[in-house]
C-alpha cells in the first residue's frame, strides 16, 4: 500500500479519488492500521537515526492528518488485525507489541498519540476494545509492549494518552493474558510521570504478573531472576519512586518460580 511505502500524499490522493479506505490485506490490515503502524515505526525507530529531534513529530503529524482524511472518507475505526504479523513487518528492535486483534485506536495508544485517539473516538472507535491477548489501550499507552524508554517529549505525549484512556473508562488494574498491568509496563520503561499518575489513580503496587514480578521488581531489574536476563532492565530512579509511593520491599521468589523464563516480561 502507498502508506506502508511512506507515500502519504499518494495515499491521500487515492482515497480522495475514490479508493476504498476499508480494503484489507490478508492480515486484516486496513489503511488506518497501516497509517498507525507506520507512525509507530517512525516514532520509535527513525529517531535513533536522525539529527533533528523534531523529525519524528513532523512525520506523526502527517500520519495524524492522513488518519483524519481516511475517517472523513468512511474508514471504519474498529476493524481488527486478524492475523499475527510476520516478524519482518514490525520494528523488532524497539517494539514487541503483539498486534493480533488490534484496532486503530489501540495502535494510536501504543504510539502515545492522544490527538489521533480523540479523532478515532469521535469517528466511532470503541476505546475499550482489546487485543487478542487482552492488552488494553491504557496498557499500551503506559508502555506495555515497548522495549525502549521514551524520550521526554514522547513520555509527555504518552501521559496525555494515558489520561485520555482513563477518561474513556479504561480499567486501571486490568491484566492481559501475561498478568501484565499498565503499571508493569510503565515500570519496564522507566516512565515515572505515568507511574505517578497511575498510582495516584489507584494502581495496585502489589500486583504480580505471571512471572511473579511487581512493578518494583521490574524497575529493580528482576533481582530474583524470574525472567530471561536479556529482558531485564534497571531503572533505579523509578524503583526509588515506587518505594516512595508505597511499593513493598522486594519479596522472595514466589512459590513455584525456579529459574529464568524466556519470554518478554512485559508483553
- Judged against a pLDDT cut of 60, whether residue 1 lies above it is answered with no
Distance CA 84, CA 27 (A): 7
- Judged against a pLDDT cut of 90, whether residue 37 lies above it is answered with no
Mean pLDDT score of the chain: 80
Range from 22-36, 95-109, 128-142 that averages highest in pLDDT: 128-142
Q: What is the span of the domain harbouring residue 185?
A: 177-267
- Whether residues 153 and 263 fall in one domain: no
- Whether residues 163 and 185 fall in one domain: no
- Whether residues 135 and 190 fall in one domain: no
- Whether residues 107 and 12 fall in one domain: yes
Nearest to 147 by CA among 177, 185, 192: 185
- Whether residues 135 and 253 fall in one domain: no
Which domain-ending residue is among 171, 186, 215? Answer: 171
Q: What is the pLDDT of residues 167-179, one digit of tens each?
A: 999 999 999 999 9
Please tell me the predicted confidence (pLDDT) of residue 76: 94
Nine-digit cell string for 70: 481516511
Query: What values do phi and psi take at 261, rounded to 5?
Result: -100, 160
Residue 84: how many other CB atoms lie within 10 Å: 13
Please tell me the predicted confidence (pLDDT) of residue 25: 84
- Judged against a pLDDT cut of 50, whether residue 137 lies above it is answered with yes
- Judged against a pLDDT cut of 50, whether residue 45 lies above it is answered with no
Average pLDDT of the segment spanning 46-54: 43
Q: What is the pLDDT of residues 208-219, one digit of tens each?
A: 999 999 999 999
Residue 69: how many other CB atoms lie within 10 Å: 18
Distance CA 49, CA 68 (A): 28
- Whether residues 57 and 147 fall in one domain: yes
Please tell me the predicted confidence (pLDDT) of residue 225: 84
Amino acid at each position: 500500500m502507498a502508506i506502508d511505502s511512506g507515500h502519504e500524499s499518494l495515499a491521500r490522493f487515492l482515497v480522495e479519488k475514490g479508493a476504498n479506505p476499508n480494503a484489507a490485506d490478508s492480515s486484516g490490515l486496513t489503511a488506518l492500521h497501516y497509517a498507525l503502524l507506520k507512525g509507530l515505526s517512525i516514532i520509535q525507530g527513525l529517531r535513533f537515526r536522525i539529527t533533528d529531534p523534531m523529525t519524528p513529530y513532523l512525520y506523526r503529524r502527517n500520519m495524524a492528518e492522513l488518519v483524519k482524511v481516511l475517517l472523513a472518507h468512511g474508514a471504519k475505526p474498529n476493524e481488527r488485525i486478524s492475523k499475527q504479523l510476520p516478524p519482518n513487518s514490525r520494528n523488532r528492535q524497539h517494539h514487541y507489541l503483539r498486534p493480533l486483534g488490534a484496532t486503530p485506536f489501540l495502535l494510536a495508544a501504543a504510539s502515545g498519540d492522544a490527538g489521533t485517539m480523540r479523532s478515532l473516538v469521535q469517528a466511532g472507535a470503541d476505546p475499550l476494545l482489546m487485543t487478542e491477548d487482552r492488552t488494553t489501550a491504557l496498557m499500551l499507552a503506559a508502555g506495555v509492549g515497548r522495549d525502549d524508554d521514551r524520550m521526554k517529549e514522547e513520555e509527555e505525549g504518552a501521559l496525555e494518552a494515558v489520561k485520555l484512556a482513563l477518561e474513556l473508562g479504561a480499567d486501571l488494574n486490568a491484566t492481559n493474558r501475561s498478568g501484565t498491568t499498565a503499571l508493569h509496563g510503565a515500570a519496564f520503561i522507566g516512565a515515572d510521570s505515568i507511574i505517578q499518575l497511575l498510582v495516584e489513580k489507584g494502581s495496585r503496587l502489589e500486583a504480580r504478573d505471571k512471572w511473579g514480578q511487581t512493578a518494583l521488581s521490574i524497575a529493580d531489574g528482576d533481582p530474583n531472576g524470574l525472567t530471561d536476563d536479556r529482558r531485564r532492565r534497571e531503572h533505579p530512579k523509578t524503583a526509588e519512586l515506587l518505594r516512595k509511593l508505597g511499593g513493598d520491599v522486594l519479596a522472595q521468589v514466589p512459590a513455584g518460580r525456579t529459574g529464568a523464563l524466556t519470554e518478554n516480561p512485559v508483553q
